[in-house]
């Protein structure tokens, strides 16, 4: 039986060109950084922005949704409630034009996201409120009185 490929001792199939200091094509791709293109490789093509990270906490009297969305203003958000579906979205449009020494440069950008959550029946939807502070959107979802956890108590035996 014959071997179709002879492997070097380092286990790789390719060998470096030791005659010149010119890098091989495979090392160019290894060194190429995709971090220079964050909107192209790390985000959703349809929306132009990656989905923000969310923390959801349950407290004794409420649920709290915290969404990390730095760089926005509170007027950029749309928070809607339809039946038991809470949706949080934002849409940004940017346009910039420079006219300098006969050159015109126009740049524009569009980005958006939408997150939806199904609320439990225990949420009092008439008292939902939200605030935006230091890049974090806080949505407070109070529980109905009957759903709030009652403190532990000792029951006396008669």
In whole angstroms, what is the distance from residue 24 CA to residue 9 CA?
19
- Stated pTM of the model: 0.58
CB 71 within 8 A of CB 136: no
Q: Options 2.60.40.790, 1.10.10.10, 2.40.50.140, 3.30.160.250; which CATH number does 46-147 get? A: 2.60.40.790
pLDDT in tens, 51-97: 899 999 999 899 999 999 988 888 999 999 999 999 999 988 777 77
- Domain extent listing, the chain: 46-147
Question: What mean pLDDT is reported for the chain?
Answer: 75
pLDDT digits (tens, 9 = 90+) for 23-44: 544 444 444 444 444 444 444 4
The tokens describing 136, both together, are 């974090």
Quickly tell me which residue has 């995709």 as its tokens.
Answer: 34
**CB-based burial label for 96 (10 Å; 0-12, 13-18, 19+):** exposed
74 near 125, Cβ under 8 Å?
no
Q: Of 151, 152, 123, which is closest to residue 139 (Cα–Cα)?
A: 123
Cβ contact 47:112 at 8 Å: yes
């Amino acid at each position: 039986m014959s071997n179709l490929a002879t492997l070097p001792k380092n286990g790789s199939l390719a060998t470096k060109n030791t005659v010149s200091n010119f890098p091989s094509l495979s090392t160019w791709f290894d060194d190429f950084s995709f971090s220079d293109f964050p909107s192209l490789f790390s985000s959703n093509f349809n929306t132009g922005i990656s989905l923000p990270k969310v923390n959801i906490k349950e407290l004794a009297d409420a649920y709290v949704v915290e969404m990390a969305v730095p760089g926005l203003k509170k007027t950029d958000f749309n928070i809607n409630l339809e039946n038991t579906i809470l949706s949080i979205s934002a849409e940004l449009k940017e346009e910039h034009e420079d006219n300098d020494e006969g050159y015109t440069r126009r740049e524009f950008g569009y980005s958006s996201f939408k997150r939806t959550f199904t609320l439990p029946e225990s949420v009092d939807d008439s008292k939902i409120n939200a605030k935006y502070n230091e890049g974090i959107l806080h949505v407070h979802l109070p529980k109905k009185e009957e759903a709030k956890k009652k403190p532990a108590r000792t029951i006396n035996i008669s």
